[in-house]
Amino acid sequence: MSMNVSSRQAAVGSGKSRKSWSTCFTAPCRLQTAHCFRVLAVAFSIMSAPSQAELIVVEEDTDGGHLTTFKMTISPAAEPVPALKHRLVAREIDMKQGNAVPYYYRALMGVSRDDKVLRKKYGDAYDEWRRPADVPLSDLPLDKVRQAANAWQGSVMENLREATLRRECNWEWDVQAMRGPDLIAFLLEEIQESRIVSRVLSLRTRLAMAERDYQRAIDELRMNYRLGRDVAKEPLLICDLVGIAICSTGNHSLIELIAQPNSPNLYWAIAELPKPMVSVRESMRTEMSLGLRTFPFILDAETAEHSPEEWARLLANAVIEQQQLTTGGLRDDEQGRLMARFGMTAMSAVAYPAAKQRLIDSGMDPQRVEGMPVGKVVSVDALRVYRRIADDIEKWSYVPYRESRKHSMSDAFKSSSTVASYNGFGYVLANSLLPAVQAARQAEQRLLWNTLGIQTVEAIRMHAAETGKLPEKLSEIEIVPVPRNPVTDEFYEYELRGETATVDLPFSDGFAGIAWRFEITLAP
């Protein structure tokens, strides 16, 4: 799969349809429609078997967006002894020297082949078995699930275990040295196939839970989290987004594990996870220079000297490449180049006066500007406009998310002109390449928001083990610090009504029409 612009722009869709549980918090994926009767069937299953401690995932569309409710009967669970008896991050003493990547490549060699075989054998059920919204744990056909999970027991799992125990992970792509359109078209098959590995780990985790082998489930979860973090090692947003999606899949498995009878308390195991689990900062820095690295002649526009014809050719080629990257709209052949030259001439006629005026207003000598070829004026202006917009977007990534979320990306694109062509090629380029940056930052923070919400449930379980009851309010919990919502810097919204407590991650926190709710009751 090519890392094109459409794959970068991972804004989460919103609509009025029910969605698949696994897609509602993965930034690279659009929210998919789920079958309503599945939710009803799951709800019916809990009513018909109230003694079964089961995670029930109910998804619904509301006026605010897509709400996912996790209905859980939890066992009170004290702090393990020792406190980090169970870990979601490998212990340092268990880590090994060396690069994880060769082991990941060996694991991936058979992934697509084996996945196709299993899909052919089991059909849609193969995907449904790993999703509690589709098949509750008590309804898993364990014989078939064991057969599917054990199909991966050989070299794939052996190499995956070795990979997730290596101290280093260097994919050695040297992304920072890339220039030109090849930077956008760079293929990332191994990163995409890592999603398959995550799905396998999710299935194996559910099998371990069904067999009440919680330590094995934790081991599988630990590998999944490390896989997600390693996938995101390269400073590319698409790698970060895939890594976030993999860690998000792990969070759903973690929620289901917490809901199992007498499962161990993982408060401290969650505390050990990196915060954020996947940081997009380095990728954002890389992507901010993407437009200039894709079209290096703009980067050198201030000092470069070309004939008017050469400037026109460079800009026409840039128009072709930019259109191909964003829409595939122009062919790179003689006809396409002629159309691009015509389009560039028209654009320059409109953009040149505004570009010239912006350069003069910035303090450039008017005589110097008048003596420049039209193409150079347009290119220098493109450089300056792109850098201004990129800097205005980037600067807010260096403050806490609760502050940066108050500033819309559209603020960075504000200009004295209202038509994109008048703002110049730098504006067009920034508008086509940079919006994905904000989506990635949201995905990073949404994963943290989810993870700390789960840790709050574990604080409640620890409190219940000490007191024998659910807290009236979160401030009552003293045995461990209660996590703060990273958006508000306050406790998550909590309410106790009768024997049911709710922990809300609301729409008002601003994550693209997505909300979570934990509905918690204590097991007898």
pLDDT tens digits, one per residue of 154-199: 888 999 999 999 999 998 887 766 655 555 555 578 888 899 999 9
**Among the listed residues 288, 259, 272, the one whose alpha carbon sits nearest the alpha carbon of residue 433:** 288
**Tens digit of each residue's pLDDT (9 = 90 or more) over 245-278:** 999 999 999 999 999 999 999 999 999 999 999 9
Q: Quick one: how many helices (H) and strands (E) in the chain?
A: 23, 7
Q: Within 10 Å of residue 151's Cβ, how many Cβ atoms?
A: 16
Q: Within 10 Å of residue 216's Cβ, how many Cβ atoms?
A: 15
- Cα–Cα distance, 195 to 338 (Å, whole number): 42
Is the pTM value of this prediction over 0.75? Answer: yes
Q: C-alpha angle 76/81/83, rounded to 5°?
A: 90
Write the DSSP symbol of residue 232.
T
- Cα–Cα distance, 272 to 266 (Å, whole number): 10
**SS3 of 468, please?**
coil
Q: What pairing do the DSSP bridges indicate for beta strands 66-74 and 96-99? A: unpaired
Cβ–Cβ < 8 Å for 437, 284: yes
**Tens digit of each residue's pLDDT (9 = 90 or more) over 281-304:** 998 888 887 777 777 788 888 999
- Cα–Cα distance, 117 to 69 (Å, whole number): 34
Average pLDDT of the chain, as a whole number: 82
Cβ–Cβ < 8 Å for 506, 59: no
Cβ–Cβ < 8 Å for 237, 437: yes
- Cα–Cα distance, 218 to 54 (Å, whole number): 18
- Cα–Cα distance, 377 to 359 (Å, whole number): 8
Assign 347 a pLDDT band (cuts: 50, 70, 90): low
Q: Which residue has the higher pLDDT, 3 or 219?
A: 219
* Range from 132-146, 288-302, 348-362, 453-467 that averages highest in pLDDT: 453-467
**In 75-228, at which residue ranges do the beta strands (DSSP E only) sit?**
96-99, 166-168
The residue with tokens 């994109």 is 420
Assign 229 a pLDDT band (cuts: 50, 70, 90): very high
**Tens digit of each residue's pLDDT (9 = 90 or more) over 472-501:** 999 999 999 999 999 999 999 999 999 999
**How deeply is 81 buried, as exposed, middle or buried, from its count of CB atoms within 10 A (0-12, 13-18, 19+)?**
exposed
